[in-house]
Amino acid sequence: MDLTILLGLTITFIVILITKKFQLFIISKTCSKKQLPFPPGKKGWPLIGETPSFVSSPKKFILDRMKTYNRNAFQTSIAGETVAILCGPAANKFIFSNENKLLKFWLPYSVSKALAQQNANPNSNSYKMADEIAHKFLKLDNIQKFVGTMDSMAQQHLDTFWVPSLQVKVHPLIKEFTFELSYRVFVEYFNPNLKSLKELRDPFFEFIEGILSTPLYVPGMPYYKALKASKIVQEKIFEMVEKRKNKMGNDDHDHDQIDGDLLGRFLMVRDEDGSCVSKEDIARVIVGFIFASFYTTTTTIAFTIAYLSKHPHVYDKVLQEQMNIKRSKGEGEQLNWIDVQKMKYSWNVICETMRLKPPSPGGFKEAITDFNFAGFHIPKGWKIHWSAYSTNMNPKYFENPEKFYPSRFEGSGPAPYTFVPFGGGPRMCIGKEYAKIETLVFLHNLVTKFKLKMVNPNEKIFYNPDPIPVDGLKVHLQLHS
Ligand code: HEM
């Protein structure tokens, strides 16, 4: 064969090979079925992925990547998983309306293990009963009964820990308050035993410290300590279940207990076969509730106080609203649900705080089937994240987004799906009424007692991924004359 022909054939063969290989490469980078690309992005370091940047500066993480890769979706790697972060109101609507169709609720294994969720059986009768009772317990018609208790607990907390001081560290004090309140509402409403409260508080605080840390099960590491502490918390709740059962004796019709805490409610309810919720499911729900309410409400109350201390004109408007309510009450009369409904401006202040400092930065889901979103393909098994920052900090939906401006919530408020602090769809937060009442009632008691001034208005905040003030958020207090 002529050498030129041979050379020509070889080159053609090589070109065909390269083209084929390139096609294969392109296809493997996209989806074989739909031909849409995966969202752009990078995975970061082996194993840890981009977890440290996501946890330590969630706002910057989201906003930077929306700018660099795509405003609607990008990919990353968090907690050892490939995660598609879907951004904007369309993403929120898509995620909330496709729960259990295209995606389902997901928690990193390390977190669900520490929350004692791993051995639970969602198909068991006990699990279903526990969830039904717990959902009913948090509904507004039940939870509004606790307004008076929350009011007197807030008063007592402020009189004991705030009034004697001229200056307090707000964040650690609010942690004590939110924990004690959840203990009363979920575990021991009648004649609370302070010793039992402390026995649960100490391991719970240790557990909460390490649950979101790097999941290294090595003695001395925070995650190791968190798992140990989670076991102790569970054992304590088992003991409390036994104690309460003995106290209740055989009287199944003790209505005081039914109208009291969640633990009492669990022990009273039986299904048609006479079986009741297992102690494991009781502990699972109670630990989950204390956990879900602890940081979220602590962050909300603490940062509302920070913003009020820095914005005296907003504080004055809140004070005026709360004084009107206080003046309408008799001496020593507790707040009730009707009073809480009148706290409209105060609620706008809390919403603006949650917009700027989201107590829950978003939610995680898992794709249960392949799907497309905004021109990208998301394969089954990928994890999905919706992020509060993707809408809360967008000037298109919130003019001058860095500015603290509660009046933006007046009138019809933000556009749909742009402000979703409690999520949406079937897995929307079931504690939102509890959170609303708790934060408003605390605020009422605080502003009607003190004028506030931040010691250091530029106090630094670190993220974990919840915002935590480095110095505990120090505030000067001045009692109203
Ligand atoms: C300011 C306070 C709170 C905020 C901002 C908040 C936020 C959220 C968000 C965003 C979700 C949905 C996450 C997702 O899409 O996957 C959620 C779910 C949940 N929250 Fe809250 N939460 C708050 C307070 C509470 C409280 C006080 C409780 C309990 C007493 C609670 C219990 C729950 C539970 C059990 C779920 C899961 C619901 C389900 O999966 O069906 N939360 N929360």
Domain boundaries, the chain: 33-119+361-420
Return the best residue to mutate from 85, 138, 429, 442 for the ligand 1 pocket (most ligand atoms within 8 A of CB): 429
pLDDT digits (tens, 9 = 90+) for 371-420: 999 999 999 999 999 999 999 999 999 999 999 999 999 999 999 999 99
CA of 17 to the centre of ligand 1 (A): 54
Percent of the chain with pLDDT over 70: 90
Percent of the chain with pLDDT over 90: 76
Q: Return the pLDDT at 465.
A: 81
In the structure, how many helices (H) and strands (E) does the chain have?
A: 19, 12
- Placement of tokens 């505030």 in the chain: 475
Query: What's the whole-number mean pLDDT along residues 129-150?
Result: 97
Q: Return the pLDDT at 9.
A: 43
* CA 276/CA 254 separation, integer angstroms: 16
Query: What's the whole-number mean pLDDT along residues 251-280?
Result: 79
436 compared with 10, residue with greater pLDDT: 436
Number of the ligand 1 atom closest to the C-alpha atom of 435: 27
271 compared with 262, residue with greater pLDDT: 262
Which residues have CB under 6 Å of ligand 1?
105, 138, 288-289, 292-293, 296-297, 300, 359-360, 363, 421-423, 427, 429-431, 434-435
Q: What is the second-level CATH architecture of the domain 33-119+361-420?
A: 2-Layer Sandwich (3.30)
Cα distances (angstroms) measured from residue 241 to each of 84, 227, 266, 290: 41, 21, 10, 16
Number of the ligand 1 atom closest to the C-alpha atom of 289: 29
* CA 455/CA 111 separation, integer angstroms: 35
- With cut-offs at 50, 70 and 90, classify the pLDDT of residue 449: very high
Q: Cite the DSSP H helix spans in 138-214.
A: 140-143, 147-157, 170-182, 194-210
Query: What's the whole-number mean pLDDT along residues 192-212?
Result: 91
Q: Return the pLDDT at 251.
A: 56
Hey, whose CA ends up nearest to atom 42 of ligand 1? 431
Q: Return the pLDDT at 253.
A: 52
Return the best residue to mutate from 100, 115, 295, 360 for the ligand 1 pocket (most ligand atoms within 8 A of CB): 360
Residue 117 has pLDDT above 50, yes or no: yes
Closest CA to 328 of 434, 444, 155: 444
Mean model confidence pLDDT for the chain: 90
CA of 250 to the centre of ligand 1 (A): 35
